[in-house]
């Protein structure tokens, strides 16, 4: 375990260029370099940052959303694929570790998508590839269930790093699976808003409050640093979502916004922002600060009863069919393998 190590982390509180994959990837690469210039060693981008978070299922009935789904599927990216390779190249060139949320497509199906998160090393390698276990509420109209293959804490030069996507940070078993692998830095990714009711209602969902509760709970229980990245919306999103109608745009603009923050192992935010402008939230942290709190409550150590409680996590990668004689596509790969896969795909397409 890494001890006595101060590192600089950042949460990218930024807006994607909504449903424009190429422009959003370019913006991602620019922010990776911007983070590197500021001395950042690990930067976390929000949920489904590429190509943006799908909000239309919350705003109109499914029968009116087919064209939006087609656009979103076309804008989603493959792993490996040219967009991911470009982000990995930017991480390698800048020497920065990157966590980023993507909408992931697959060559196995033209309409199956996952809400995924990639952890990319400073050498450009994919260290972990996680698919959200269960899409939440209206997300079920867009994304398929993920699997347990990505429920992994990566052992890195910066410490042990795990990540969960949005509502997974409410799942005690998913969170415990991260804790049980000696997690030191947790990454939580969120959307810009999450409309569940009309914002004029007293029952509206306060996303920032929900994030604070979840993030504080995990930091406190796991005794870890928590880097929380929520996206924001800009005019590119408003222009697209205005196609639904004026009332939909009103809901989008007045729904409670998310918050980005970095919390210590005591569960208390060190810094946070909900700015209505792109912003890099940067903080130096010391992993040694995770040690003393473990004296009080170590829920994966002495403060547990393993003779009473038992958790088994299945981390098999799921596929629609298994083909004898075919090499399984790895979910974790070094930069050279990633680059070779993209080149092979390009050659096959020509």
Q: Give the catalytic positions in this structure.
A: 47, 132, 166
Handedness of CA 203, 209, 211, 217 (dihedral sign): negative
Strand order in the sheet with 279-286: 126-131, 109-120, 97-106, 42-44, 6-13, 279-286
Return d(Cα 70, Cα 184) in angstroms, integer. 39
Give the 3-state secondary structure of the chain: CCCCCEEEEEEEECCCCCCCHHHHHHHHHHHHHHHHHCCCCEEECCCCCECCCCCHHHCCCHHHCHHHHHHHHHHCECCCCHHHHHHHHHHHHHCCEEEEEEEEEECCEEEEEEEEEEEECCCCCEEEEEECCCCCHHHHHCCCCCCHHHCCCEEECCEEEEEEEHHHHHCHHHHHHHHCCCCCEEEEEECCECCCCCCCCCCCCCHHHHHHHHHHHHHHHHCCEEEEEECCCCHHHHHHHCCCCHHHHHHHHHCCECCEEEECCCCCEEEEECCCCCEEEEEEEEHHHHCCHHHHCCCCCCCCCCCCCCCCCCCCCCCCCCCCCCCCCCCCECHHHHHHHHHHHHHHHC
Rounded Cα gap, residues 138 and 195, in angstroms? 9
Residue 259, judged by CB atoms within 10 A of its CB (0-12, 13-18, 19+), counts as buried
> Is-contact 187 160, C-beta < 8 A?
no
């Amino acid at each position: 375990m890494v001890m006595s190590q101060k590192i600089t982390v950042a949460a990218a509180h930024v807006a994607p260029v909504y449903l424009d994959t190429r422009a959003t990837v370019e913006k991602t690469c620019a922010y990776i370099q911007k983070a590197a210039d500021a001395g950042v060693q690990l930067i976390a981008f929000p949920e489904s940052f590429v190509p943006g978070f799908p909000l239309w299922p919350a705003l109109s009935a499914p029968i009116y959303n087919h064209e939006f789904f087609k656009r979103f599927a076309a804008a989603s990216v493959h792993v490996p694929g040219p967009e991911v390779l470009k982000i990995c190249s930017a991480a390698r060139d800048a020497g920065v570790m990157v966590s980023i949320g993507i909408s992931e497509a697959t060559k196995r199906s033209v309409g199956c998508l996952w809400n995924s998160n990639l952890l990319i090393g400073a050498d450009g390698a994919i260290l972990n590839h996680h698919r959200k276990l269960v899409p939440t509420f209206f997300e079920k109209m867009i994304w398929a269930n993920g699997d347990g293959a990505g429920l992994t804490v990566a052992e890195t030069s910066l410490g042990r790093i795990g990540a969960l996507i949005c509502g997974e940070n409410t799942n005690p078993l998913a969170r415990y699976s991260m804790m049980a692998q000696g997690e030191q830095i947790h990454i939580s990714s969120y959307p810009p808003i999450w409309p569940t009711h009309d914002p004029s209602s007293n029952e509206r969902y306060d996303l920032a409050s929900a994030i604070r509760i979840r993030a504080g709970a995990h930091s406190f229980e796991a005794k870890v640093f928590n880097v929380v990245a929520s996206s924001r919306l800009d005019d590119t999103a408003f222009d697209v979502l205005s196609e639904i109608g004026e009332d939909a745009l009103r809901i989008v603009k007045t729904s409670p916004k998310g918050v980005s923050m970095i919390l210590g192992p005591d569960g208390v935010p060190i810094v946070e922002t909900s700015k209505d402008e792109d912003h890099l939230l940067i903080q130096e942290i010391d992993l040694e600060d995770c040690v003393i709190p473990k004296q009080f409550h170590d829920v994966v150590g002495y403060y547990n009863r393993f003779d009473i409680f038992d958790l088994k996590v299945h981390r098999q990668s799921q596929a629609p069919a298994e083909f004898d004689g075919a090499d399984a596509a790895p979910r974790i790969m070094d930069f050279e393998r990633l680059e070779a896969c993209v080149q092979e795909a390009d050659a096959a397409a020509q």
